[in-house]
Structure 1
Amino acid sequence: MISSRMYLYVRSRQLEGSYPGDPTLGTFCQTNMRVLRGWGVPEESEWPYDTRIWPPEEPEGMDTAAKKHRICAYQRVRTLGECKLALARQCPVQLSMRIVPEDWRNPPENRIPMPANESSLTANHAICVVGYDERDHLIIQNSWGEKWGDQGYAYLPQRYFERYHTEAWIIPSDARSLPPLSSEGTFSRAWGFPDCLGEGLPFVGIELYDGPKDECVGWAFLVKRQGYADIEEFFIRPSFRGRGFGTALAELVKKRPQFEDCPLRLWIGHVDRNNVASATMQATAKRLGLSINPSRRNWASYVGM
């Protein structure tokens, strides 16, 4: 299936609060993943990509069509080693980086150079990593059409990922479709997939789900890293906030299936950096028994420990 880029872009902009605004604005990769998980995505033929008229006229029934194609989970990629491991397991990596715009417009020999200095990194850009070669380069696919690079592809130094990536995500191959759902009431469930990037333990998903409305209310994802039960995602859809679902999800996370003996650690990505001081975020951290502080990782703004 070819997914509707227009639906994903519009819903991501709406979720970030930047819609309609400037039609050239980008979105966070994590927001895209949240849309794919909570809303899904219709087919490209149902809502083709076209920004010549902005804001676009949305066809009827898009949210219903999108529900047929919801993903079950997404997982954070933190290191170059994890990136290469994901690629070896046939999982493309959605990557956002700090860039020097001039270096990307027409890269010589389709190779992105390392920045001359960090002060020239004036923009962020998202691409898809699809492979790597034996010359310490990642093979990337850009979104600027086939006239850019080598028919839309180019080579990125692996050091670029290590130094300047701001977020990276995969959709695990075992998590591309949802398990069967009940249609009775609002309920919670937890499940596990193999952690294709980590320590052999499951990648755990916890969800609150509204059966009668067929709506994903909220979800959290946990993995084991460095002796911690790392919360890679904790999200309640905006339309369900203020109704106690955040408290319910936090209580489920505290039980941390599979990782009962590990302390919790919450990573807060750049998409949520402006919400850290909010009453909702602080209340969530308190329920989880965590204190939020700035992160030293380039792929997270804050960490709760």
Structure 2
Amino acid sequence: MSTAVNRRWLLASRPEGAPVVENFRFDEAVLPVPGPGEMLLRVIYLSLDPYMRGRMSDAKSYAAPVPIGGLMEGETVAEVMESHNPDFVPGDIVLARIGWQSYGLSDGSGVRKIARGSVPISTALGVLGMPGLTAYAGLKNIGMPKAGETVVVAAASGPVGSAVGQIARIRGARAVGIAGGAEKCAYLIDELGFDAAVDHRAPDFAEQLARACPDGIDVYFENVSGKVFDAVFPLFNQFARMPVCGTIAFYNATGFPEMETIVPALMRAVLTKRLRIQGFIVYDFASDYPDFARDMAGWIAEGRVKYREDVVDGIEKAPDAFIGLLKGKNFGKMVVRVGPDSIDE
């Protein structure tokens, strides 16, 4: 342990538009030493998620930005190496928000133990973690799909979207996924059981979406916005619901000129169609976690929910992988394998 170093990524500068590698700074430091009540964690997997783009900005938001020179924020699956906390012992595998680094300290706040089982421990960052809960809670509390209704989800091959479509099917609804490219669309139908899939890169995307939703759209789970929403919007049925958990099309935007033309039509539709549009942060529905954990684990065991991970090896590749994520280059939940599952590997 004495020869180990803590490899980490810091925020070097705030992006203007899309992030570039130069916005990050690689750093090596001595291992932190746990104090009273603390524990030293060795990161095994680091989660990369679109919300991190917001943390790189100092625009007002629901969470504080990463300061310049600060450690990039992120959730991890880690192993307890040394513990002065009575609730954790060396060898425990935990879910902890300690950021883009190979080692970190925690006092145990917000840390949850992960039991090894039939699925990889990395799923605690995906289908059994924050993305899965986002899909579950957003549909349950805002989308509220009914049997026979049409549920459309953008970024459908990603960790949130893929879970949304599969849960909608379990609830008896018809699931239509929007994804980028023929391979991802085929995956939605052939592997995940979606009823239809539409490629948002197709020149006639809006027409294809309309054909895939002959009875209109009752629930649209918004992860993207932009041109995808433009095609969805005319298809809303009366009393349609739209949970909004992401607008990735705008994350790198420096202005919104297109909004000047859509706002009047949108507001009229909200009124005349009695639409319900509600943004949410997953932690708004933290009380749903026990039900989610039980249901999702059961659905996976029964084969009713499937998942896919996009694993990148090495913490040094985190910035490139994150930049690719924002461009839709990932296929499934993106995680970085920072270290071996066991120190004996």
TM-score band, normalised by the shorter chain? under 0.3
Larger Rg: 2
TM-score normalized by the length of structure 2: 0.26
Task: Specify which structure has the higher proportion of helix.
Answer: 2
Structure with bigger RCO (C-alpha 8 Å, 6+ apart): 2
